Amino acid sequence: MVLNIGPQHPATHGVLRLKIVVDGERIVRVEPVIGYMHRGAEKLFEVRDYRQIIVLANRHDWLSAFASELGVVLAVESMLGMEVPIRAVWARTLLAELNRILNHLMFLGSYPLELGAITPVFYAFREREEIQAVMEEASGGRMHYMFNRVGGLKEDLPLGWLSRVAAALTAVRTRLPELESLIVGNEILQARTRGVGVLRPELVSAYGVSGPIARASGVDVDLRRDAPYLAYGELFAPGGPGRVVTRTAGDCLARLEVLLEQLQVSLDLAEACLETLGALASGPINVKLPKVLKVPEGEIYFATENPLGFNGYF
């Protein structure tokens, strides 16, 4: 019998269709069908102003919208040789890490769901809501923030927002052990993930795999440390809160462990950003732009470390 699994919706796990051939309860053959994603982004970019394509970049990964916006504006600012206000630099870094936390919490809730564990997703969504609330307060959006602008951010952060972010981070950090206790050490979860889906380091390089999946296979690469942008150069400097999380097994369990530990690192980075922003004097959050934005002719490639790996714009 031939069965179809998926295609899954892009707002959850990524879009994948599996055509499987089963003999009773045993899967004897699988054909993965990929490509169910937003198409033609490049052509849509070509006929728009640099400022208008930010909204399209949001859609590359629905759970990493702010991070996807960043690559566009950072590339344009580099071509313009534009210096962005220091408050915008640190605010962007904070928002990028909050976005990373949201992304990883979705994974940590939905992944056990695939293994038959229903409860963790409720804990993950409770913590997501803490962060979603402050992201929505600042940007006005819950999924597609549209908060980045060439030269900084759309507008200043709301009054008292930093203290509300601090409270949200404390709440998440305090309750995270409840979610971890359902996952870490669970015999059923370990039996269904250890040694499963092993990805060797040489295959990581051959296929251009990046992000948490590559690091779970022992490939020690992270653009926040290796090609720093925003405030990451300072955060990942020796003695700073930034560190790159790796494992060596390269299996499903290793990938889960990397995401769990990265969540803690992002909480540390967000708290460091809050401390710096709280100490900065008031000032502009963006650069005033002309009505028509003219960028010098030329070319640039700019990549950022999105929650799921490298995100590059040429």
Q: Write the CATH number for 66.
A: 1.10.645.10
Instruction: Name which of 193, 179, 151 is nearest 50 in CA terms.
Output: 151
> Which residues, listed in sequence order, are joined to residue 5 by a DSSP beta bridge?
18
Question: Tens-digit pLDDT profile for the chain (314 aa)?
Answer: 889 887 766 545 557 888 999 998 888 999 988 777 667 888 888 888 888 899 889 888 888 999 999 999 999 999 999 999 999 999 999 999 999 999 999 999 988 888 888 999 999 999 999 999 999 999 999 889 999 999 999 999 999 999 999 999 999 999 999 999 988 888 999 999 999 999 999 999 999 999 999 999 999 999 999 999 999 999 999 999 999 999 999 999 999 999 999 999 999 999 999 999 999 999 999 999 988 888 999 999 999 999 999 999 99
Domain co-membership, 23 together with 155? no
Q: How many CA atoms lie within 13 A of 96 on its CB side?
A: 27
Domain co-membership, 127 together with 20? no
Domain co-membership, 15 together with 122? no
pLDDT at 291: 87
Domain co-membership, 103 together with 199? yes
Residue found by looking up tokens 């990028």 in the block:
96
Question: What residues have CB less than 8 Å from 95, skipping those under 6 apart?
Answer: 66, 135, 138, 139, 145, 147
CB atoms within 10 A of CB 246: 19
Query: Domain range spanning residue 299?
Result: 41-313
Domain co-membership, 214 together with 246? yes
Domain co-membership, 134 together with 234? yes
Domain co-membership, 23 together with 107? no
Strands (E), the chain: 2-5, 17-23, 26-33, 148-149, 152-153, 302-306, 309-313
Domain co-membership, 106 together with 27? no
State pTM to two decimals: 0.91
Domain co-membership, 82 together with 51? yes
pLDDT at 36: 74
Domain co-membership, 53 together with 196? yes
Domain co-membership, 13 together with 162? no
Number of independent structural domains in the chain: 2
Domain co-membership, 99 together with 132? yes
pLDDT at 19: 93
